[in-house]
Amino acid sequence: MDIALTGNGDIQISAIGDVLLIGEEDEMDRQGLAYTLFVNSPDFIPYPDFGANLDALLGKTLNEETLDLGVELIMDAVPEVVDVHGVLHNEYNVIIFFINHPAFNRSISLIYSIRRGLLVGEEAENLLHEIFLED
């Protein structure tokens, strides 16, 4: 069991005011992966090496070199990841990473804005929906 988090990392509260818990392994692994990718080392003081340091992509030119750096940062931060590939989307200045992790039966998508950083929650979902409906 673990505490359920929103896409923004906030604790989820039920309609009656209780803290929501999750028990499914898939969801706990997804939350753990998202948190790891969201953190920049040494921001998590108990474990200064923890995190993906994706903020290294902020302000970079959106090109294959930046994409490769993002893939490398994700693979280094989460050694269990089997494969990461990404797609550049110039109109939105984002990289969409697709992460294959052995704990999941599907690919996890992650959207990173080179202007604003890692997009999470509703903002990320809406942008992914807009991009894929457009194409």
Number of domains in the chain: 1
Candidate from 6-15, 19-28, 74-83, 113-122 with smallest mean pLDDT: 19-28
Q: pLDDT for 40-96, tens place per residue?
A: 888 777 878 888 999 999 999 999 999 999 999 999 998 888 899 999 998 899 999
Using a pLDDT cut of 90, give the percent of the chain over it. 30
Q: What residues make up the domain containing 21?
A: 2-134
Q: Please give the biggest Cα pair distance in the chain.
A: 49
Question: In this predicted structure, what is the pLDDT of residue 88?
Answer: 94
Q: For residue 48, report the phi and psi dihedrals to the nearest 5 degrees.
A: -65, -20
Q: What CATH number should be reported for the domain holding residue 113?
A: 3.10.450.40
**For residues 64 and 72, what is the distance between their CA atoms, to the nearest angstrom?**
12
Which pTM was predicted? 0.74
The answer to whether residue 21 scores a pLDDT higher than 70 is: no
Three-state secondary structure string covering the chain: CEECECCCCCECECCCCCECEECCHHHHHHHHHHHHHHCCCCCCCCCCCCCCCHHHHCCCCCCHHHHHHHHHHHHHHCCCCCEEEEEEECCCCEEEEEEECCCCCCEEEEEEECCCEEECHHHHHHHHHHHHHHC
pLDDT (average), residues 106-116: 86
